[in-house]
């Protein structure tokens, strides 16, 4: 079974630009979550999509948005990039049961975004 | 608050035992998870504690005490490949959101 695939792996942008990152989850997984990872802050939750609907949202500005398609693939968009957006963006998929216990997150290798 | 605290770095020799602690300040969660991340790699799931007590998975064990708001991951018989960052995470009641600690880097030396 193929793992979680994120594209592109590396991206360099300049301030003010926008960027779209892509995530293909494990086949059969309906939940996709996005995280921002920086050395100082660890993994910060951005949002989670389940069956094309945003189910949870973290504390990030509205410049960060996402969507999920009917095949569970997800995209994340960051508009008006700032230097502080430089980070590793990780996507994770899971079966996504609505409530309760263990829901193992399977992570992709991430997209490393550098904003100059 | 609902933060998870982890100390930042530990260095240990091959064959040693390392304990990574995780303290948290939330009561409404399903369980405590642990993830491992090698440099440049994706985080991978290691262990989960839904109930208080010890869970053992090979050389790794994880412990949870809800009354003490505390958990730990125990790495035994350390190997070079265990050099990585280790994150604890909780899943809050009512949603599918995982909140991660800032991680603890383990460096294994010969």
Q: For B36-80, how does the pLDDT look when each residue is reduced to its tens digit (9 = 90+)?
A: 999 989 999 999 998 999 999 899 999 999 888 899 999 999 999
Q: How many CB pairs under 8 A join A and B?
A: 70
A91: which DSSP letter? E
Given CB atoms, is B98 within the 8 Å cutoff of chain A?
yes
Cβ–Cβ below 8 Å for B97 and A100:
no
Look at residue B18 and give its three-state secondary structure.
Answer: strand
Distant-in-sequence, close-in-space partners of B39: CB < 8 Å, separation ≥ 6: B84, B85
Which tokens is B19 given? 């304990």
Work out the mean pLDDT of chain B and round it to a whole number. 89
Question: Would you say the C-alpha torsion B41, A96, B69, B65 has a positive or negative sign?
Answer: negative
User: What average pLDDT does this structure show over A47-58?
Assistant: 91
Residues linked to residue A87 through DSSP beta bridges, in sequence order: A113
A9-13, A55-59, A105-109, B45-49: segment of lowest average pLDDT = A55-59
Given CB atoms, is A105 within the 8 Å cutoff of chain B?
yes
- Residue B82 pLDDT exceeds 50: yes
A70, B92, A62, A64: CA torsion to nearest 10:
-60
- Residue B99 pLDDT exceeds 50: yes
Cβ–Cβ below 8 Å for A90 and B43:
yes
Angle at B65 between CA B64 and CA B70, to 5 degrees: 80
Backbone angles phi, psi at A83, to 5 degrees: -55, -35
Cβ–Cβ below 8 Å for A98 and B48:
no
Q: Which of A101, A105, A109 sits opposite B30 (nearest CB)?
A: A101
Look at residue A85 and give its three-state secondary structure.
Answer: helix
Given this model, what pLDDT does residue B91 score? 83
Query: What is the distance in angstroms between the Cα of A26 and the nearest Cα belonging to chain B?
Result: 14
User: What average pLDDT does this structure show over B25-29?
Assistant: 76
B22: which DSSP letter? E
User: What average pLDDT does this structure show over A102-114?
Assistant: 92
User: What average pLDDT does this structure show over A64-80?
Assistant: 97
Given this model, what pLDDT does residue B1 score? 40
Selected residue with higher pLDDT from B62 and B29: B62
Which tokens is B3 given? 């933060």
Cβ–Cβ below 8 Å for A102 and B33:
yes
């Amino acid at each position: 079974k193929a793992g979680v695939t994120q594209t592109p792996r590396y991206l360099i942008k300049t301030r003010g630009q926008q960027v779209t990152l892509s995530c293909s989850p494990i086949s059969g997984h309906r939940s996709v979550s996005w995280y921002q990872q920086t050395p100082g802050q660890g993994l910060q939750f951005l949002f989670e999509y389940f069956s094309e609907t945003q189910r949870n949202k973290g504390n990030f500005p509205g410049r960060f948005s996402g969507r999920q398609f009917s095949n569970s693939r997800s995209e994340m968009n960051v508009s008006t990039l700032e230097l502080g957006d430089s980070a590793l963006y990780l996507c994770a998929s899971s079966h996504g049961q609505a409530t309760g216990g263990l829901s193992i997150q399977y992570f992709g290798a991430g997209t490393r975004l550098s904003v100059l | 608050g609902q933060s998870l605290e982890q100390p930042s770095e530990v260095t240990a020799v091959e064959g040693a035992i390392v304990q990574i602690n995780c303290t948290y300040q939330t009561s409404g969660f399903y369980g405590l998870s642990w993830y491992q991340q090698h440099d440049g790699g994706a985080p991978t799931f290691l262990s989960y504690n839904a109930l208080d007590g010890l869970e053992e998975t090979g050389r790794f064990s994880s412990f949870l005490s809800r009354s003490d708001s505390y958990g730990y991951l125990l790495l035994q018989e350390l190997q070079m490949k265990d050099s990585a960052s280790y994150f604890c995470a909780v899943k809050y009641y009512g949603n599918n959101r995982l909140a991660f600690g800032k991680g603890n880097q383990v460096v294994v030396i010969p």
